[in-house]
Amino acid sequence: MMLTHDTIWQAIDRLAQSSGYSTSGLAKKAGLDPTSFNRSKRIGADGKPRWPSTESISRILAATGATMSDFIQLIGHAAPVSPVESRIPVLNFSQAVRKEFFDDHGYPLGESWDHIHFPNAPEEVLDVYALEVSGTSFLPFFREGDRLIIAPHAPLRRGDRVVICTISGKLLAKELNRQTATKIEVKSLSSDEASLSFSPKDISWISRIVWVSQ
């Protein structure tokens, strides 16, 4: 069994999933900051991988009733987790313009999020959340009641559908056209609207839509 930063963090992800929590939900259950296990916390300010603290591991084991032996099995892939029990945070799209619902990296924050089951969620989309569409502003691509599954940690590529939160508080669903160090260009999901260009300093966060649950 190889102990690396990735295998330890993946074991935490699997423990959360097998217990029916998102990683942020497990952190809250254990009395930790909800962002404790976010992808952004797994890299230090110097760009090097970080280890989770022994205290945080102790707390999540106590919160889930798991033993250290159970946790070691998750590190060693000896106890694969069924994805059927995955639960992820969900929020209405119209509410998501409020900054208190997100941290600086676009991850869910606070106690006001509901949770939904996300059946058959593959491991690569752990640490996701859902924004539920209301109204008709995203027709014909997204209908009222559709849930956009957002992955803040997913790499962005040209052609991806993304959600953008601007510094001014606007929340937009667009298609990424081009991203450079000085400019982010997006185009509308509808050909009837003009493309937009932003400076990175005008964007609070931008995250990829990886799934649409209807």
Give the residue range(s) of CATH 2.10.109.10 domains in the chain: 85-213
The pLDDT, as a whole number, for residue 214 is 65
Specify the fold of 5-81.
434 Repressor (Amino-terminal Domain) (1.10.260)
- pLDDT tens string 174-183: 999 999 989 9
Q: How many CB atoms lie within 10 A of CB 26?
A: 24
Global pTM? Answer: 0.59
Give the residue range(s) of CATH 1.10.260.40 domains in the chain: 5-81
Name residue 129's beta-bridge partners.
Answer: 150
Nearest to 176 by CA among 168, 188, 167, 166: 188
pLDDT (average), residues 196-212:
90
Token code pair at residue 148: 């956009």
Q: What are phi and psi of 55, to 5 degrees?
A: -65, -40
The pLDDT, as a whole number, for residue 83 is 43
Residues 19, 31: Cα–Cα separation, whole Å: 16
Q: How many CB atoms lie within 10 A of CB 136?
A: 10
Residues 47, 89: Cα–Cα separation, whole Å: 28
Q: Give the side-chain half-sphere CA count within 13 A for 166.
A: 14
Residues 209, 33: Cα–Cα separation, whole Å: 25
DSSP element (H, E) containing 161: strand 161-166
- pLDDT tens string 105-157: 777 877 778 887 776 554 444 578 889 888 777 777 888 888 898 988 888 99
Nearest to 137 by CA among 186, 188, 101, 184: 188
- pLDDT tens string 42-81: 888 788 889 999 999 999 999 888 888 888 888 865 444 4
Specify the fold of 85-213.
Umud Fragment, subunit A (2.10.109)
Contact 150, 209 (CB under 8 A): yes
Residues 85, 19: Cα–Cα separation, whole Å: 8
